[in-house]
Every structure is written in C-alpha cells, then in structure tokens.
Amino acid sequence: MSVPQFGIFAQGTIAHEFIEFDVRPDVDLATAAAMLQQIRQPAVSAGGVNLVVAFGSDFWRALAPDQAPPELAPFRPIGTVGGHHAPATQHDLWLWISGSSRDVVFEHSRSAALAVEEVAALASEQAAFVHRDSRDLTGFIDGTANPTMLEAPKAALVPDGQPGAGGSHVIAMRWVHNLRAFDGLPVEEQERVFGRTKVDSIEFADDAKPPTAHIARAEIEDEAGEELPIYRRSVPYGTIREHGLYFVAFSADRTRFDRMLARIFGVSGDGLHDRLADFTRPVSAAYYFAPPLDLLADLAR
C-alpha cells in the first residue's frame, strides 16, 4: 500500500508558504527528477515543518507515465470573462511548506527554491496564515464540513489499484476578497451568502438555505445523491491592500473539482452561481498531482 505525503493531513501549523515553479526549457528529465532529492532533504522536511510536493499534469506524465491518473489534466479557464470567471495559471511544480512560525517557514521555503533553481524558475509565491479559530477573513469558519481525519484519506487519495494510487489531485486557487462590500452586508445576509451561521458555523436547514448559498453550490453529489467530498486545507493571506483566501483542496478524483467549480461559476446548466463569488474572485488557478512517498522516492533514485 502506498504511503501518502504526510503534509496533506498534518494539522497544527499556523504559517504557510505556497510556491509554484516552471521547469526551465531543455532540462532533461533525469536532471529534473534529481532535484526532488534536494527538496526532500531533512533540512527542508524536519523540525516541525511539513512539505507537500505536487506536479502539473504534463510534467508528471513525463516523469512517471505509468503512474498518471487518466483524468489528470491542467486547469482550464472556467466561467465567463467579464463575469464570474477563473483564469488558468498552470505551472509545472507546486510546493506547500507549513510550520509553527513564519521565520522557520521562510527559511525552508528559500532553501527549497535554491535547491531547484538550476532546473526550475520561480513562477509565484504566496505566504499565508491561520486566522483566529481557522476562520476566513470574512469571519466565517473555513472547512467546517471537511471529512474527519479518519475519512479524509478516502476523500483525498487515489484508491488502491489505480495509477497513482496513494497520491492526490490538488487544486490551488488564490482568491481576492472584497471585504468592504461583504462587511457592508448585515450579518443575517452574510449568513445567507454562506448558508450557515457566522459565530458558531451551524448549517442552515435545507428549506432555509438559499439555492445560491456557498454551501449549496460547493457541495456536489453522485447520481445516487451521495456527497462526493474533497479535503480542504485553505488558509487566508494578504496585506491591507489585497487579501483573501488561498484555496487548497485534495481529492481522489479531479473531476470533483470540475463539477464544484461549474456550480460556483454558474456554468453547470441550472442558471445559478455561488453568491459568495459576488464578493471574491480568483486571480490564479491550477491543478496538480501530489504523488505518494514511494513514487517520489523512486524518482529521486
């Protein structure tokens, strides 16, 4: 049985860094694979710091074609330009480094970037943090309906017997909030946007929940009406000038992300969109694959 990357499920960290890279032109695959050993040294992964490594679909298929889930694909733009819209900002490599303090995370992030700079160019970086009791900057608790720790692996990991088993599909999106507009709503209306109460995060009953509420649009079901869960690990980020949510989630199946986003951005065919998207917009979006530890070790060798 494959062992997933521990950082996917690690709890208790308050400082986060998300880094994306593009593989430099003309870098051969053997050299690119060797770089993995550099970013997996104890100096990067020890001392209470968690590291998750994930690959864009083209890069992963080049490195390990037999271990690529068939639905693995790059992110494509979704929605209507000028309306509710998510741009595609796909890159080759994604790192998530988290730890107990900002200085430690910064040191390890810089170390990881230096380790791969000969083969991969830095494309983007975003520092993030845990806000109060895991609340989004809107004041609502994020990830309330997440699977429990016992259920999370089933939601997040590719099942045994499939290519890439033990790995996980990743969605990474940076959303910019319009807090001035959202904070201008009465609390009761803010709660209708989300579909749950603000202080204690109690979900509205189905008959009281607006069909455009965030919970109503972001939850997806299979043909039998059973919920198809994803495992969310989002954290806030920002400055006074620009702030929002770095949305991260892991799934056993990439198509769950596709269905969720179609409902959020109003292209699922029912004419509705997620009302929360009236107060926040994505400025980056990409899909990645986080392979299990044994596949990472094989590449490094």
Annotated catalytic sites, by residue? 142
Asked whether the CA dihedral 15, 114, 75, 296 is positive or negative, the reply is: negative
Give me the sign of the Cα torsion angle 259, 265, 269, 271: positive
Phi, psi dihedrals of residue 111, rounded to the nearest 5°: -60, -45
Q: Which helix (H) or strand (E) holds 51?
A: strand 50-55
Query: Residue for token digits 């890439």?
Result: 164
